[in-house]
Amino acid sequence: MAHLDYTISGPADGPPLVLGSSLGTTRVMWDPQVAALAQRHRVVVFDHRGHGGSDVPAGPYAIDDLGRDVLEMLDRLGIARFSYAGLSLGGMVGMCLAATAPDRIERLALLCTSAHLGPAEAWHERARLVRENGLTRVADTVIARWFAPSFVAAAPDVVARYRAMLLSAPPEGYAACCEAIASMDLRDALAAVTAPTLVIAGELDEVTTVSHATDIVERVSGARLSVVPAAAHLANVEQPTAVTQLLIEHFGGD
């Protein structure tokens, strides 16, 4: 197990809501949503292993490893049952938790994510590049996937902050999480998910495209799909108002 760094917001007696972030980001990624969600929920936002203030074990990692980290963190916090929202890597962890520990998940939101994101060779190559050269080698490519060109032009300050966030990631942690994605295939496991599930896709996301979201919806009983217009991979950052409203509605906000 890896010790995860986290922050908690909202009422102590509020229904727990856990937020998992994208590969290469920290829990700061959820800042556009936390204040609104914390009006009702006890919001726990964490850094994946290998990211932010969390432990950086030597890789490779598996998605199951990242999921066990979350459960261990919540056990220490005395949280037995919780709702979960995760974007990209965070969504992959959410699917893993909902499939392997369905009794613990109240409601689930999966944003800009995939149950199987190949090809594995590309992820292994990215891990190799990062270990050998650091995050600067992949930064331009990652930023181009995170944000639509129109957003890059309109909000260069935000894009600069996220580039700095990416470059601050520990190379070993980032690379080992790439290897977790390379080995991940949750497609068959999704039949075990029982939590009411909302799947959110960015209209302009070229990484986890709308087709990835549709595949999840078809595999999770009763799941719903919402496509956010004018949003690429970090949809919650590009279109914070729309994504926040979807999450409030799904998790039963006032």
Tens digits of per-residue pLDDT, 92-107?
A: 999 999 999 999 999 9
The predicted pLDDT at position 254 comes to 42
The 10s digit of each residue's pLDDT in 145-188 is: 999 999 999 999 999 999 999 999 999 999 999 999 999 999 99
The predicted pLDDT at position 1 comes to 84
Which residues of the chain have a pLDDT value below 50? 253-254
**DSSP result, 16-44:** EEEEE--TT--GGGGHHHHHHHTTTSEEE
**DSSP result, 160-176:** HHHHHHHHTS-HHHHHH
Domain ranges of the chain: 6-250
- Per CATH, is 6-250 categorized as 3.40.50.970? no
pTM score, whole prediction: 0.97
